[in-house]
Structure 1
């Protein structure tokens, strides 16, 4: 992780658990997506879906440990890579001071009207650079 990252802390819901009493592994990608709002706002400040400029091209998640209902979760989000029209969002999920999961989402700057990718604007690249993973 980098020195500068977005942080999102929340309490898991009872419905996030599985039959074994752990957090269900399907929840991690959902939580990661929810913690990307700060990055989404760089492209669509009001989060108006009629002006949306991003598509998700790929996600991957690595699990490092079991997670439990009764403890708060913390998602740390930074930029893993900056390309011409795409970038990687790197995220870590922590519970009780331990890394429990990490993952990367490949996002693409996309024009839905032309159905083509677009270069990431220079001002947004500048913001991304501040959060670039070491």
Structure 2
């Protein structure tokens, strides 16, 4: 088990006064990089290693405090060219989030995965842990359906490989989700907005990466649609695409819970269901 202490920044907070759900993925990245830099696999960061997908399960808000959050991580699965990292983020001894990241060594010149070297495999194998799998979040492919939300890539969104950083995709998914839900139902405005009487809590968020996304001046497009409406929760699907040729870059699935200002779950309500049902994709 590898442990990392991740300092918080005031700018990590969102409108609800807690660390933003997308920023949590950045904490995972900091812990993962520190882990890789701690041993012989450090070279993978320089030659090329990509994130194939993330699963993040949020258990409680992370508050801003001077102390760091603690992140424990280990290798939960190991294949020929596939590494799954499992994390537990804690604050004050309580679990704030559980997560999984699938990594793949990658040759950017030839645009293909490469197998782990015996040295790297030995390093990862020495950090094996046993954890329970996170349940999958099923969602259909949108195939061009859903509300189109423009997504602009900023130059600062790029990472050391010259592509949009994996953690930044969670910002894009969030931007599309907030734009879509408040258009469908203005009462889904976030806490603190005029007329808002409830919170919308992200309890689970997964992103699968399909293609590398580069910077350009023209906007890309996020397609977003509800795919399931529950009692107090809903599942939204988001696909990031190139509107010019339909190239798919990433798929995201987000589970939102409706809650009162005290944080307790509230029924979605007939009005919200009626407004969202016409946009359901099954």
Per the normalisation by structure 1, the TM-score is 0.87
Shift of 1:19: 1.1
Matched, 1:21 2:21: no
Equivalent position to 2:206, from 39, 45, 60: 60
Matched, 1:92 2:239: yes
| 1:110–1:48 CA distance, 2 compared to 1 (3 A) | closer
Q: Give the secondary-structure state (helix, strand or coil) at the position aligned to 2:222.
A: strand
Please give the per-residue CA displacement for 1:47-102, whole angstroms capped at 9, x wherever unaligned.
Answer: 45263431111100000111101253210100011101001011000024211100
> Which one has more relative contact order, counting CA pairs under 8 Å at least 6 apart?
1
Following superposition of structure 1 onto structure 2, how do residues 32-43 of structure 1 map, counting pairs within 5 Å? 32-37=173-178, 38-40=180-182, 42=185
Per the normalisation by structure 2, the TM-score is 0.44
90-99 or 59-68, which deviates more: 90-99
For structure 1, the residue ranges without an aligned partner over 5 or more in a row are: none
Q: Give the secondary-structure state (helix, strand or coil) at the position aligned to 2:211.
A: coil
Q: How many residues align?
A: 133
| 1:125–1:46 CA distance, 2 compared to 1 (3 A) | closer
C-alpha contact (below 8 Å) 1:2/1:78 kept by paired residues: no
Distance 1:86 1:44 in 2: 15
C-alpha contact (below 8 Å) 1:4/1:131 kept by paired residues: no
Over aligned residues, Cα RMSD in angstroms? 2.1
Equivalent position to 1:81, from 201, 204, 228: 228
Shift of 1:8: 1.0
Radius of gyration: which is bigger? 2
